[in-house]
Amino acid sequence: MLRVTSLASANLLAGKQPGEMNMNNTLQDSPAQTIGPSASEPSRRRFLDYLLGTSAVATVGAIVYPIIRFMSPPQVIESTESSVVAAKLNEIPVNSGKIFKFGSKPGIVVRTDSGELKAFSAVCTHLDCIVQYQPETKQIWCACHNGYYNLNGKNVGGPPPRPLEEFKVNTRGDEIVVSKA
């Protein structure tokens, strides 16, 4: 702006009227092409547009991503274990049972009145509650809705629609080893 003022003064001194001044004079006299705001305005506007655009995208992403993560269920890693040590022999007296972990799911091992070992999935086939052994009835019982299974895993009372999944049982020394059939 100082440059414009000094040029205007020079023009006035040279006897020119203000209406005779033109930008060509100014541009030829000096490399000061940035005197007005219009020279840099398009690039500044483009930069601001870019900034606003990226901010809008980031904001939308910050809102949408957690919603998508919330709505998609976590991946359940299925167990690849095919056999586990469920218990020690002396942990399960006759007419008792014990819950053990078979991969990511619970299992139940039962020693019957006659001393036979049996093992099943401990997940009720009705609504996935964990079952337990009931010594009084000598059955496997689900407390959630009073479901019953016999010692072959068959659903014999209450709402469970299917038998429990049965596992193979072996002993190795004093360990009870359960494996998938």
> Cα–chain-centroid distance for residue 153?
35
HSE-up of 110 (CA within 13 Å, CB side)?
26
The helix or strand, by DSSP H or E, that contains position 53, with its residue range, turns out to be helix 41-71
| Burial profile 32-43: b = 16 or more Cβ within 10 angstroms, e = fewer | eeebeeeeeeee
Pull the structure tokens for residue 122. 């401990």
Pairing mode, strands 147-149 and 139-142: antiparallel
Q: Establish if 154 lies at the interface with ligand FES (CB under 6 A).
A: no
Q: Establish if 147 lies at the interface with ligand FES (CB under 6 A).
A: yes
Nearer to ligand FES, 55 or 152 (CB): 152
Q: Establish if 27 lies at the interface with ligand FES (CB under 6 A).
A: no
Q: Establish if 142 lies at the interface with ligand FES (CB under 6 A).
A: yes
Q: Establish if 137 lies at the interface with ligand FES (CB under 6 A).
A: no
Q: Establish if 124 lies at the interface with ligand FES (CB under 6 A).
A: yes
Give the integer Cα–Cα distance in Å for 181 and 179.
Answer: 6
Nearer to ligand FES, 124 or 178 (CB): 124
Give me the sheet containing 147-149, strands edge to edge: 132-134, 139-142, 147-149, 155-157
Nearer to ligand FES, 84 or 147 (CB): 147
Q: How far is the CB of 124 from ligand FES (least distance, A)?
A: 3
Site for ligand FES in 67-96 (CB under 6 A): none
Q: Establish if 158 lies at the interface with ligand FES (CB under 6 A).
A: yes
Q: How far is the CB of 82 from ligand FES (least distance, A)?
A: 26
The type of residue at 114 is S
Q: Establish if 129 lies at the interface with ligand FES (CB under 6 A).
A: yes
The one among 145, 152, 162, 170 contacting ligand FES by CB under 6 A? 145
Give the integer Cα–Cα distance in Å for 109 and 176.
Answer: 9
Choose the stretch contacting ligand FES; rule: CB under 6 A; options: 57-65, 85-93, 157-165, 171-179: 157-165
